[in-house]
């Protein structure tokens, strides 16, 4: 066993931490929607125009960043032949946590849009996008930490 290989307990703990963060943050997306229905029930939609376009642009940019992390950086960290296993584990934790936080931001943009007078359908698109991104970002850690993947 390589001296730089993280113990199995560290890998298991990292996996548990990522899954806990995943489910807590994914659950808050649904909680945002429920809270939003109570808070914004009395709001009358007024078509926020420019704000809507800005939030949609930010949501699209953040979503593209999450897709880049998930489909380019995470697989590169999983397949890194020259990277030490402990470094791989740290990098994977970082990438997954970034995915979760950025995906959460997409849901928050929808929350803001609705609070600023957007129609419920516009906010729903942000929540659906966040749910889809979360489904893409379920944390998966490799079993073979002692050898390059």
Q: What is the pLDDT of residue 146?
A: 53
pLDDT of residue 115: 87
In total, how many domains does the chain have? Answer: 1
**Nearest-angstrom CA–CA distance, 2 and 78:** 17
Residue 90 lies in a domain: yes
pLDDT at position 26 is: 96
Can you give the pLDDT at residue 149? Answer: 42
Give the pLDDT score at 43: 74
3-state secondary structure of 45: coil
Supply the pLDDT for residue 100: 97
67: part of which helix (H) or strand (E)?
helix 50-68
What's phi and psi for 80, nearest 5 deg?
A: -65, 110
pLDDT at 66: 97
> 17 lies in a domain?
yes
pLDDT value of position 1: 46
- CB within 8 A of 19, min separation 6: which ones? 139
Q: Note whether residue 43 is domain-resident.
A: yes
Which range of residues forms the domain containing residue 58? 8-136
For residue 70, being part of any structural domain is answered with yes
49 sits in the region (left: phi over 0; alpha: psi -120 to 50; else beta) called left
Q: What is the pLDDT of residue 37?
A: 83
**Chain position carrying tokens 């489904």:** 135
Nearest residue to 52 (alpha-carbon basis) of 103, 101, 119: 119
Domain contains 147: no
Residue ranges, the chain, pLDDT below 70: 1-8, 47-48, 80, 82, 143-149
The answer to the question of residue 141 being in a domain is no
Distance of alpha carbon 114 from alpha carbon 47, whole angstroms? 10
Domain-embedded: residue 112: yes
Is residue 1 assigned to a domain?
Answer: no
């Amino acid at each position: 066993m390589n001296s730089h290989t993280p113990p199995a307990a560290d890998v298991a703990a990292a996996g548990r931490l990522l899954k806990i963060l995943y489910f807590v943050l994914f659950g808050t997306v649904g909680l945002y929607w429920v809270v939003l229905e109570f808070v914004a029930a009395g709001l009358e939609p007024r078509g926020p125009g420019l704000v809507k376009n800005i939030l949609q642009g930010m949501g699209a940019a953040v979503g593209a960043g999450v897709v880049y992390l998930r489909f380019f950086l995470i697989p590169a960290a999983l397949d890194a032949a020259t990277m030490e296993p402990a470094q791989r584990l740290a990098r994977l934790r970082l990438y997954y946590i970034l995915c979760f936080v950025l995906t959460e931001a997409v849901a928050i943009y929808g929350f803001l849009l609705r609070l600023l007078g957007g129609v419920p359908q516009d906010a729903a698109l942000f929540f659906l996008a966040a749910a889809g991104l979360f489904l893409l970002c379920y944390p998966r850690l490799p079993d073979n930490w002692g050898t390059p993947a």
